[in-house]
Amino acid sequence: MESTDSSQPSSITDTERKGEAVATVTNESSALEYERFLRLENEFSGASKKRLLRKLDLRLLPTLSFLYLMCSLDKSNAGNAKLSGLLEDIGMDGTQFNLALMYFFFTYGLFEPVSNIMLRRVGPKIWFPFIVCAWGLITTLTSQASSYGSFIVIRLMLGITEAGLYPGAYFILSMWYTPKEIGTRMAIFYGANTTAGAFGGVIAYGVGSLDGSLGWRAWRWLFLIEGCITIFAGLCCFFCLPAFPHQYQAGKGTSWLTKEELEYASLRIKYANGHVSSTYEFRWSDVIAAAKDRKTYFMMMLFWWGGSVPTYSLSYTLPTMVANLGYSSVKAQALTTPPYIFATCVCVAVGYISDRKSRRYQCIMGAYTLGLIGIIILWITVHYPSLPGVSYFAIFLAAAGYSAQAPIVGAWTSSNITNPSKRAAAIGLLMLLGSVGGGSIGSNIYISSEAPTYPLGFGFSVGATVIGAMIPATIHWYLMRKENKRRDGLNIAEVERTYTTEELGEMGEDSPFFRFVL
């Protein structure tokens, strides 16, 4: 006969009681933290909030934008080097050159999610200086390329080292800015990419005067100078780039933010979607969740077909395309600058409008439409050599439209994924196929043997934009709007009785309280 001791509670009861105690403490802690956020929100209204945003802007945007400027230059200056004798000096033909550009995107895309996960774990203050100095070193080594094989190896290594900058910067911005602020900041950051096109032409034009100095061709000087600048930028960003808000020691300020500003900067992101917040703890399950999420693949389609394919194809062939309008190679380098300056202005304007109106889908579709108009006009007018002015104007429209969509795609993704680890993984994953597929395709659809009409290149760009990007964007918008309407009809009191605050936080954007940004 089994004996029982009524004075000893069962193990099941103990576990339940411990769970209830932990839940109670957690609920109280979350409630107190949220109350603290509300007090700070009240304190940081008006001028105080503007002052904080100005501090964030001055610290983050110049640093990240300059790094992206150098990344874009180091990645796309091959197009300028091509006009400065690269192919002849190392024995490449046009097809081999396009293949070398394509191989870059294999390692670039594959390492984007890996780099973003590393960034999430160790923080930007360690990870970014490392990858920036690494790609700067690889860029300087490009000046020593002597054969097709060596050029391929260098491009593969450059892809590995540059992979983390673009998705990483998007993630860093999402950790400091709310969904209503991030579109403008991502547009300013991305403007560095379009500005790189402008600077690339100017730098290539200036470096052309060094052709023959010390026995080096201009393209070797181009890679050496840009690589050295990048290494210096990498060393500087160790001091200029801040850590994530939650990585700073609690209760202490920084040299650029006060204690209260830092606390508010962290809490306002954590509670940007209301009193329910996601965990900041890194978990591999969140990475897996990003890989399973339908939103990741819809945004991947937009980034791939509506962004990477037309943008990379344009950046790599623009100097040659302008030269085909009847200008000399040197003058063509300089004439690539104005379209990119115009594109930068349009990019920032669209980002600002998307924040003010909170209409990501409409702004993305508007950008795609502008890019399409430019590509179609250019496709038609290249058949008429007597219309170089119209063709050149079309380049302005195409560059502006395809540049303006990119930061809004990033902002749309960041605004609709609340968990930081899942968001970092989603940004990396959507850019993986976008970079591998978009970059490799974009660098090969404008075939030199088809110049100056490029029927494959223009036709593919139009089809990719409409079928691969505009249609998926519309489906994505429709499904999220439908889900928002369903949640609007839910009984809030019943939801609060069914789930605890912690359970709702674990749900992230699947929480009944969350509304997708459209």
pLDDT in tens, 319-377: 667 766 666 655 666 677 788 889 889 999 999 999 988 899 999 999 999 999 999 99
DSSP string across 349-369: HHHHHHHHHT-HHHHHHHHHH
Beta-carbon-side half-sphere exposure of residue 347 (alpha carbons within 13 Å): 30
| Residue 295 vs residue 272, higher pLDDT | 295
Question: Residue 32 above 60 pLDDT?
Answer: yes
Is the Cβ–Cβ distance between 124 and 242 less than 8 Å?
yes
User: Among residues 153, 149, 170, which one has the least CA distance to residue 107?
Assistant: 153
- My answer on whether omega of the bond before 472 falls inside 30° of 0, hence cis, is no
With b for 16 or more beta-carbon neighbours within 10 A and e for fewer, the 210-229 pattern comes to beeeeeebbbbbbbbbbbeb
Is the Cβ–Cβ distance between 367 and 375 less than 8 Å?
no
Is the Cβ–Cβ distance between 36 and 28 less than 8 Å?
no
Q: How far apart are CA 37 and CA 304, in angstroms?
A: 38
Question: What CATH number is given for 60-241+293-510 in this structure?
Answer: 1.20.1250.20
Question: Residue 420 above 70 pLDDT?
Answer: yes
Question: Residue 9 above 60 pLDDT?
Answer: no
What is the SS3 string spanning 439-477? HHHHCCCCCHHHCCCCHHHHHHHHHHHHHHHHHHHHHHH
Q: Report pLDDT digits (tens) over 201-232.
A: 667 677 777 777 787 888 888 889 889 999 99
The one-character DSSP state at 128 is: H
Report the pLDDT value the prediction gives residue 329, as an integer from 0 to 100: 58
Question: Residue 489 above 80 pLDDT?
Answer: yes
Beta-carbon-side half-sphere exposure of residue 383 (alpha carbons within 13 Å): 6
Report the pLDDT value the prediction gives residue 25, as an integer from 0 to 100: 42
What is the pLDDT confidence band of residue 15, given thresholds at 50, 70 and 90? very low
Average pLDDT, integer, range 84-88: 84
CA dihedral 384, 385, 389, 395 (to 10 degrees): 70
CA dihedral 396, 317, 459, 428 (to 10 degrees): -90
pTM: 0.82
Average pLDDT, integer, range 33-54: 88
Q: Report pLDDT digits (tens) over 102-133.
A: 788 888 888 999 999 999 888 999 999 999 99
Q: What is the CA radius of gyration of the chain?
A: 25
Could you count the other beta carbons within 10 Å of the beta carbon of residue 485? 10
At residue 4, the 3 state secondary structure works out as: coil
Question: Residue 26 above 70 pLDDT?
Answer: no
Average pLDDT, integer, range 444-472: 87
End-to-end CA gap in the chain: 67
Average pLDDT, integer, range 15-31: 50
| Two tokens, residue 199 | 């600077």
The Cα-based distances of 23 to 14, 227, 244, 320 in angstroms read 14, 53, 27, 64
Q: Provide the residue ranges of all domains of the chain, joining segments of one domain with +.
A: 60-241+293-510
Average pLDDT, integer, range 155-180: 91
What is the overall mean pLDDT for the chain?
Answer: 83
User: Among residues 385, 410, 405, which one has the least CA distance to residue 314?
Assistant: 405
With b for 16 or more beta-carbon neighbours within 10 A and e for fewer, the 168-193 pattern comes to bbbbbbbbbbebebbbbbbbbbbbbb
